Every structure is written in C-alpha cells, then in structure tokens.
Chain A
C-alpha cells in the first residue's frame, strides 16, 4: 500500500472492502484527536475512551463522508460532538476552592498580582488554572470557551463544528465568559482580585 495515499484514496479502499486501511487513517489523525480530547478531560483513560469512540463512529459513518470537505474537518466535527456528549454525561463535582491550588498555580496568581501588565511565564500553571475554572462551567460554556478562547477558532467554524447557529455561538460565548468571571471571583480571594 502506498504510504502517501490521500485520505480520499484510503476511504475509497475501505469502502470497496479493504477495511484494514482504516488503520492508516487512525495513525494519521490520532495525534490531533488526542490533543483535542485532552482539552476536555485530564484523565488519560477517559481521553483514550473519547478518541476510541470518535474513530469507531467515524468507521461506522464513513459512508456519510462525501468528500466535499476535507476528511479532517469531518473527523473534527465528530470529535467535537463526541467531546460535548462526554462533558454532558460526566458532569463532575463542580466545587473547587483555592485551597486546592498547587504551588505552581499559586505562584502564577502571585506573579499576576505583582505585575498584572505582563503575562506570568509558567504557561502550564495557567493552563491548569484555566482547567480548574473550565471544570466548573456548564458543558456548553466549557465547549465554547475551549473552542473560542483556547483553540482560537472563528465563530463560523465553531458553528460548523458544534452544529449550533452563529448567533447561538455568540450568545453562548458571551454567557460563558460571564460565567467564567463569576467562577474566578468565587475562586480567587480578595488578595488576587
């Protein structure tokens, strides 16, 4: 089998009965899906479950891909919707407090308080803090903040990925930011704000 086959060629081969070629598609797109799934869960076993579900769905629905858009876009749509379903079915205990913050996270906040104009250097600590806040958001709000603020996607693309209308994405983004600020106010004591 040629190593440089396009996604369309591989899918055509799968459709004509050579299902073993699906392995190539998995190998080709798994990194992107893992990166996406890790935005919605910190537990590695859950991340693997999400990615596995996306690929199983993709295989089952492969006939519905018509080749009008790149396969990667179609796969990302499946991934985003699977992640959203995951968020809705795994709503955890959404109560956190600053006492649970790690030393790194506390250092990040202290640096922010000391020099608010500059971004503190530790990006991992910031991501960890953002994850704490995101875990307390509703599934729709978490999805919006992730796609809009962390992945920096345009509203129109988010609408395509989620299946929501553009106005709905905008409304949800507004609400999500507001909810995030409320959580930050609740989480962060006066000395930080």
Chain B
C-alpha cells in the first residue's frame, strides 16, 4: 500500500517539473546543413574517371569515323594519296607490332 502511495506521490511531484524545453544555439542551422546534399569525394572521382574514359572512346570513334568517311575517300587522288599513305604506314606498323612476338619466335613445325 505504501509503495502505491510512494509511486503516486513521486509521479505527481515529477509532473510538476517538466523537462527543460531549450534548444541548443542555432540548432535549426545544423538541421538545414544536414539536409543539404553532401558531395562524396569517391563519387566525384568516379564521375571524372568515367568522363575521361568515355571521352577517350569518343575521340577514337571520331578519328575512326573521319578515316572511313566518304569525304576522305572523295578527295583528289594526289591529296588522298598523301592521306592514305600515312594510314597505310600506320596500319603496317600496327601489324608489325602485333605480330612481332610471333615473327621473332623460331618456327617449329
């Protein structure tokens, strides 16, 4: 019985002392700062790497496209020859570079 009275008295007294309602200084600004989108350094790096990789592909595609374009093939023969000669040389160089290991190895049959 005394416990019940103690409980009631304690609760009644505690009701009279509600907790303080003060907020810390500039708390609302802290909340607003949390709501702003944050930049993740890893995401920024990855975005730039993707851009670099895609722009490399784009440059390669444009170069390839220019090489095959009808405009290049429609050039006068003397100019076309000048353009095609380095292209042929370049393709020969590429072929040499690719097959170099095979060429240097002794032929075993």
Contact present for A150 and B32 (CB under 8 Å) = no
A145 to B8, CA, bound (A): 12
Question: A108 contacts which chain B residues (CB < 8 A)?
Answer: 13
Chain A nearest CB from B6 CB (Å) reads: 6
Contact present for B31 and A126 (CB under 8 Å) = no
By the criterion of a CB under 8 Å from any partner CB, how many residues of chain A are at the interface? 45
* B interface majority secondary structure: helix
* A interface majority secondary structure: helix
Question: B31 contacts which chain A residues (CB < 8 A)?
Answer: 22-23, 26, 52, 55-56
Contact present for B7 and A152 (CB under 8 Å) = no
Contact present for A116 and B4 (CB under 8 Å) = no
Choose among B17, B28, B32, B34 the residue that contacts A127 (Cβ–Cβ < 8 A). B17
A193 on interface, CB distance cutoff 8 Å = yes
Contact present for A130 and B14 (CB under 8 Å) = yes
A192 to B29, CA, bound (A): 48
Contact present for B21 and A31 (CB under 8 Å) = yes
A156 on interface, CB distance cutoff 8 Å = no
Choose among B6, B7, B16 the residue that contacts A123 (Cβ–Cβ < 8 A). B16
Contact present for A177 and B7 (CB under 8 Å) = yes
* Nearest-neighbor residue (CB-CB) of B1 within chain A: A193
B38 on interface, CB distance cutoff 8 Å = no
Q: Which of A2-10, A33-41, A73-81 contacts B (4 or more CB under 8 A)?
A: A33-41
Given that A26-B31, A52-B30 are contacting pairs, would A123 and B4 also be in contact in the complex, using a CB cutoff of 8 Å?
A: no
A22 to B6, CA, bound (A): 45
Question: A34 contacts which chain B residues (CB < 8 A)?
Answer: 19-23
A129 on interface, CB distance cutoff 8 Å = yes
* Max count, chain B CB within 10 A of own CB: residue among A119, A120, A145, A185: A119
A19 to B18, CA, bound (A): 33
Sorted from nearest, which 10 A-B pairs have the closest CB atoms? A126-B13, A38-B19, A123-B17, A35-B21, A26-B28, A31-B21, A130-B14, A127-B14, A30-B23, A123-B16
Q: What 13 new A-B contacts, CB under 8 Å, besides A127-B17, A184-B10, A185-B3?
A: A26-B28, A31-B21, A34-B21, A35-B19, A108-B13, A112-B10, A116-B2, A126-B10, A126-B13, A150-B11, A152-B15, A177-B7, A184-B6
| 29 A-B pairs whose Cβ atoms sit less than 8 Å apart in the complex | A22-B32, A26-B27, A26-B32, A30-B23, A31-B21, A34-B19, A34-B20, A34-B21, A35-B21, A48-B27, A51-B27, A59-B35, A116-B2, A116-B5, A119-B9, A119-B12, A123-B14, A125-B13, A126-B9, A126-B10, A126-B13, A129-B14, A145-B11, A150-B11, A181-B3, A184-B7, A185-B3, A188-B3, A193-B2
